[in-house]
Amino acid sequence: MSASNPYPRVPGSRLQQRNSQRARRRTRARREAILSIGITLVLAAAGGYALVATKPSVARSHVVTGHGRPKAGPPAGAQQSVQQRSDATVTIAWVGDLTFGTLNEWPADGTGSLLDKVKPDLHSNLTIGNLETALGDLPMSKCRRGEKDCYQFEAPSYTAKDLKRDGFSAVNVANNHTLDAGPAGEVSTDDALRAARLRWAGRPGQITYFTRNGIKIALLGFAPWPYDANALDIPAAEALVRRASKHAQVVIVMEHLGGEGDSYRHVRPGEEYFLGQDRGNSIAFTHGVIDAGADLVMGSGPHVLRGFQWYHRHLIAYSLGNFCGYYTVGLDRYTSISAILHITLNARGGFVRGGITPIKLIEPGTPEPDPKRTAIGFINSLSQDDFAGNGAARISAAGKIEPPRG
């Protein structure tokens, strides 16, 4: 495979009666109040208490995170619930690039079958991946006839339901394959995701909210293209993150940045260019959105693993590489090695624990657990090379991400 070509193969939702006796009314009211408090305590203990940040219009108090930025607090009147749920956490799983074929060459057993070997590792409160394909059955229009270094992908609409069944809650749609089937393909993709009740983020100005374990989460996606939430306009991206931070306790940013292939494994300062295109400034963008209020940044785009970095005690996973590419991605030494990222955050967005599940892609581009656990060594080496003395993250031999120092 050429270093500039990560795609060498393209064949692929009281009655309460009025009582005239004042004493009996007071007795009944006291009983109802006691019962209500009991139900609230039971729901809170079971993780079902959903008052926290479920209505954006409710007035909010603000709390300050460890690096001095305002975050949404509980709705008025919910202080007791927050005390009871002070140990609440949310688990997140992130995978890299997802493609499922093209030109109507899709797997006979359905796109969901491509993930069978890694489904047990996809369980979390919020499992997300980068959907690097149009969904539908429309003529693809991005590449001109005979154009080199241009790749376009499309998967059937039912792929969204397959991903939902496989455990996904959301996908990032901000990437360079947004318009593979033109504007009609973008509409078709959104329609398929909506029908599957699979949420998405990455359209211009879009913030997608979830509530998990009583914690309100904002999800945003960015890529260096004007038809997506544009990562090249860092001030605008920061403003969108600040808006999300006012309405959510945890803010997660997905970025699709950088050149493609094994020549782009390292994260370097400054703009990256690929095929004459500005693919963004990964360090400036990720640090900027964390300064603006993001608690976790998860990356895709280069089709290879990149290093992990701590910035203000928040994790940046610059790229998880490929996750699924049915006859669409290269499977060389680097593009075939990937991982599933697992992160647990608390209700303030702080890191609790994390780890990776090392995987590899085998023909025809499907993921399976990697017994050699190659991804651990790759990520550690890249993190040290690129961020030594500047927040380099480290993963233990067991796959656990060591917490930030200091």
Residue 194's CB: how many other CB atoms inside 10 A? 13
Q: Which residues contact 87 (CB under 8 A, 6 or more apart)?
A: 346
In a domain, 50, yes or no: no
Q: Quick check: 192 and 135 in contact, CB under 8 A?
A: yes
The residue with tokens 């393209």 is: 10
The strand pair at 134-135 and 126-131 is best described as unpaired
Provide the pLDDT for residue 36: 43
CATH number of the structural domain spanning residue 190: 3.60.21.10
Provide the pLDDT for residue 51: 29
In a domain, 74, yes or no: no
Q: Quick check: 353 and 124 in contact, CB under 8 A?
A: no
Provide the pLDDT for residue 74: 53
Q: Name the pTM for this structure.
A: 0.82
In a domain, 111, yes or no: yes
Question: What is the distance between the alpha carbons of residues 163 and 111, in angstroms, rounded to a whole number?
Answer: 8
The range of the structural domain enclosing residue 100 comes to 89-387
Q: How many domains does the structure of the chain reveal? A: 1
Alpha-carbon 94 to chain mean position: 6
The residue with tokens 């020549």 is: 263
Question: What is the distance between the alpha carbons of residues 361 and 363, in angstroms, rounded to a whole number?
Answer: 7
Stretches in the chain below the pLDDT threshold 70: 1-70, 72-86, 104, 406
In a domain, 244, yes or no: yes
At 24-37, the pLDDT tens digits run 444 444 444 444 44
In a domain, 164, yes or no: yes
Provide the pLDDT for residue 44: 40
SS3 content of the chain, % helix, strand, coil (to 5): 25, 30, 45
Identify the three-state secondary structure at position 287: helix
Provide the pLDDT for residue 86: 64
Q: Which amino acid is at 43?
A: L
At 229-241, the pLDDT tens digits run 999 999 999 999 9
Provide the pLDDT for residue 228: 97
Q: Which amino acid is at 18?
A: R
Q: Which two tokens stand for residue 166?
A: 């496989």
Provide the pLDDT for residue 11: 46
Half-sphere exposure of 169 (CA within 13 A, CB side): 18
Question: What is the distance between the alpha carbons of residues 195 and 42, in angstroms, rounded to a whole number?
Answer: 34
Question: What is the distance between the alpha carbons of residues 32 and 262, in angstroms, rounded to a whole number?
Answer: 65
In a domain, 321, yes or no: yes
In a domain, 45, yes or no: no
In a domain, 319, yes or no: yes
Do you know the residue count of the chain? 406
